Amino acid sequence: MIVPALDREEPPPRRRSAPAAGATAVPIAAEPGPAAPLATPEPDAGLDARDMTIAYDRTDVVHGADLRLPRGRVTALIGPNGSGKSTLLRAVARLHKARTGSVTVAAGAEDAAPVDALALSRSDFARRVTLLAQSRNAPAGLSVRDVVGFGRHPYRGRLRGTDPDGARMVEHALAVTNLAEFADRGVESLSGGQLQRVWFACCLAQDTDVLLLDEPTTYLDLRYQVEILDLVRDLADTHGVTVGVVLHDLDQAASVADQVVLLSSGRIVAAGTPAEVYAPERLSDAYGIRIDVEPDSSTGIPRTRAVGRHHLRSERP
């Protein structure tokens, strides 16, 4: 899928970095360090979260995590269920308050100082960071265009109707997600996969420099999984959007991401390029099942295979 050009100043296309020869995944400290009021952010980070410790019911479920999303790159968060991927993303997006930690976002211009994301107003934060969460209710009685228009809410202000780019951005989002033909249909008439695309279009209409996606391919058939991930790649490469995405499919993560962050038991255990992180022993330990890894013969991208008891049988009845 090709993203139509947006009528705004765009950064030059960015090339995906290749793995360094002989490189190994960056190890992450197992124990959380002392909380700092605001850590010094990385200069090229679109979003930089430090020492994030997050609790539910007074029990820590994420422990001292450092999550750095490079500007204009795609970062995939992987790991088994309950490893803390979605919780970390929600805390970074200010939907769940972290017990410790700091979050900064890029100010926009390449040479501008990063901004303390936790100190921004709700509307200012929403003009910088978008989150597509897992659980979303479809409001009955609204059209697809109405729901996609929710993404423009941070720009309307108290008086409403003061968003000159709103209509154009909504139509753009409908077009690139192949929803234009459904624009006037009620959302209650859509399938789960169609509704997932509506919420993704809503995120695109919000038009932020940082896009956080929690399992965006859920409910989608193969065609739309590929198209959504192609669009994610285009947003980073062509428009310089910083993307953090939670994915369960390891092969999808390796295909779309510049870097991968592996979580296990609430801790980040490795971060780096897919080739660096996808060591069979590391993945097998994290997921509790044997996972074989081989590079794709044509692209060199790691491909995984989870091996169960029946996969080892040489003959089947």
Q: Residues 114-173: pLDDT tens digits?
A: 999 999 999 999 999 999 998 777 778 999 999 999 999 999 865 555 688 899 999 999
pLDDT higher than threshold 70 for residue 175 = yes
The residues, any chain, with a CB within 8 Å of residue 174's CB and separated by 6 or more, are 144, 145, 148, 180, 183, 201
Show the tokens assigned to 176: 């690139």
* Chain segment 10-61, per-residue pLDDT in tens: 333 333 444 333 333 544 433 333 333 445 555 589 999 999 999 999 999 9
Judge residue 109's burial from the number of C-beta atoms within 10 Å of its C-beta, 0-12 exposed, 13-18 middle, 19 or more buried: exposed
Cβ–Cβ < 8 Å for 147, 187: yes
User: Which pLDDT score, from 0 to 100, does residue 193 have?
Assistant: 87
For residues 278-286, average pLDDT: 98
User: Which pLDDT score, from 0 to 100, does residue 17 have?
Assistant: 40
Cβ–Cβ < 8 Å for 13, 237: yes
CB atoms within 10 A of CB 44: 14
Q: How confident is the model at residue 218 (pLDDT cuts 50, 70, 90)?
A: confident
Cβ–Cβ < 8 Å for 42, 68: yes
Mean pLDDT of the chain: 85
H or E stretch covering 262: strand 259-264
User: Which pLDDT score, from 0 to 100, does residue 1 have?
Assistant: 32
Cβ–Cβ < 8 Å for 45, 75: no
For residues 212-229, average pLDDT: 93
Collapse the DSSP code of 203 into the 3-class scheme (helix H, G, I; strand E, B; otherwise coil) and give the result.
helix
β-strand partners of 220 = none
* Chain segment 17-26, per-residue pLDDT in tens: 443 333 335 4
Gap between the Cα atoms of 243 and 210, Å rounded: 6
Gap between the Cα atoms of 69 and 89, Å rounded: 11
H or E stretch covering 236: helix 222-239
* Residue found by looking up tokens 């705004």 in the block: 8
Show the tokens assigned to 263: 């979580």
The residues, any chain, with a CB within 8 Å of residue 134's CB and separated by 6 or more, are 86, 214, 215, 218
For residues 284-289, average pLDDT: 97
The residues, any chain, with a CB within 8 Å of residue 31's CB and separated by 6 or more, are 63, 64
* Chain segment 184-210, per-residue pLDDT in tens: 999 999 988 899 999 999 999 999 999
User: Which pLDDT score, from 0 to 100, does residue 25 have?
Assistant: 52
Gap between the Cα atoms of 181 and 200, Å rounded: 16
User: Which pLDDT score, from 0 to 100, does residue 86 have?
Assistant: 97
pTM: 0.83
For residues 208-227, average pLDDT: 94
Residues in the chain: 317
For the chain, counts of helices (H) and of strands (E): 10, 12
* Residue found by looking up tokens 């309950």 in the block: 82
Strands (DSSP E) found in 57-187: 59-70, 74-78, 100-105, 115-116, 129-132
User: Which pLDDT score, from 0 to 100, does residue 37 have?
Assistant: 45
For residues 220-228, average pLDDT: 93
* Residue found by looking up tokens 């420099």 in the block: 209
DSSP string, 150-183: GGGHHHHTTTSS--TTHHHHHHHHHHHTT-GGGT
For 45-274, CATH number?
A: 3.40.50.300
